């Protein structure tokens, strides 16, 4: 998958659809396999589709998944699921939505440098939250893909979100405004991101603690 090549700087490999669906069915059941097939179809290239249209369809697809707290689902307070794990259990929290959207858009050909997984303070909820930010150009006001508000909006129209930090495959930024932020190092500084990368490259899938109909 492209997500593996992005993380490891290795040659890009085609999506192994059969392997993904088989892993989903084995680990999470037949319904998970069907969701996997829908995800793979979502990532089929459509040359006439613009990047904005890709953002909309990917945002819409994943926002249909259920919100479930990590402690209930995985038995830990903060777990960043891989896209396959998120699809497998048909739910997750804000990090999982943002990560799944990020890797899916990578697979669709959206450049990594145009995207930032962004930690924010959600003022209405009075808690930390995660979204995906898309920059059409380096100087653009980013567009926000969010599971709380399904409509993609420019960051300056999301006054309910205060940016804290953001990252992509390699870089980490501290955000002091609605724009790009100040470069602060490598994204590998984030332990949850390192753990996620390791599970993606090894294809190791975690089993949920919550007993639910997947």
Q: What is the DSSP string of 141-179?
A: PPEEE-SSS-S-EEGGG-TTEEEEEEE-SSEEEE-SSSS
Q: What is the pLDDT of residue 210?
A: 67
In the chain, how long is the greatest CA-to-CA distance?
46
What's the structural domain count of the chain? Answer: 1
Distance (Å, whole) CA 51 – CA 104:
12
Which CATH number fits the domain that encloses residue 121? 3.10.620.30
Q: How far apart are the first and last CA of the chain?
A: 24
CB 166 within 8 A of CB 173: yes
Distance (Å, whole) CA 89 – CA 91:
6
Q: Which residues on neighbouring strands pair with residue 172, listed in sequence order?
A: 167, 185
pLDDT in tens, 50-60: 999 999 999 99
Q: What would the mean pLDDT of 111-138 be, rounded to a whole number?
A: 95
The pairing of strands 66-67 and 127-134 is unpaired
Residue 7 lies in a domain: yes
Question: Where does the pLDDT of residue 4 fall: very low under 50, low under 70, confident under 90, or very high at 90 and above?
Answer: very low
The Cβ of residue 10 has, within 10 Å, a number of other Cβ atoms equal to 10
Measured in degrees and rounded to the nearest 5, phi and psi for residue 185 equal 140, -155
Residue 26 lies in a domain: yes
Query: For all residues of the chain together, what is the average pLDDT?
Result: 88
pLDDT in tens, 181-198: 777 778 888 999 999 989
Distance (Å, whole) CA 95 – CA 103:
12
Residue 214 lies in a domain: no
Structure tokens at 119: 């930690």
Question: Over pLDDT 90: what percentage of the chain?
Answer: 71
Q: What would the mean pLDDT of 111-132 be, rounded to a whole number?
A: 95
Residue 152 lies in a domain: yes
Q: What would the mean pLDDT of 166-170 be, rounded to a whole number?
A: 92
Residue 209 lies in a domain: no
pLDDT in tens, 34-82: 999 999 999 998 888 999 999 999 999 999 999 999 999 999 999 999 9
Domain span at residue 105 reads 2-202
Residue 212 lies in a domain: no
pTM of the model: 0.90
């Amino acid at each position: 998958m492209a997500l593996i090549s992005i993380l490891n700087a290795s040659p890009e490999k085609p999506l192994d659809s059969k392997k993904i669906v088989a892993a989903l069915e084995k680990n999470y059941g037949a319904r998970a396999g069907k969701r996997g097939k829908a995800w793979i179809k979502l990532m089929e290239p459509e040359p006439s589709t613009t990047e904005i249209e890709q953002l909309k369809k990917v945002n819409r697809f994943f926002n249909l998944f259920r919100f479930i707290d990590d402690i209930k689902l995985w038995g830990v307070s903060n777990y960043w699921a891989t896209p396959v794990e998120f699809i497998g259990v048909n739910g997750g929290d804000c990090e999982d939505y943002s990560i799944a959207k990020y890797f899916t858009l990578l697979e669709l050909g959206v450049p990594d440098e145009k995207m930032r997984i962004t930690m924010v303070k959600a003022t209405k909820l009075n808690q930390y939250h995660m979204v995906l930010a898309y920059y059409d150009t380096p100087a653009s006001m980013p567009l926000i893909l969010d599971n709380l508000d399904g409509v993609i909006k420019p960051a300056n129209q999301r006054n309910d979100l205060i940016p804290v930090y953001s990252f992509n495959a390699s870089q980490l930024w501290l955000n002091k405004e609605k724009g790009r932020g100040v470069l602060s190092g490598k994204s590998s500084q984030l332990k949850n991101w390192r753990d996620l990368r390791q599970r993606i490259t090894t294809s190791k899938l975690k089993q949920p603690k919550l007993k639910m109909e997947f």
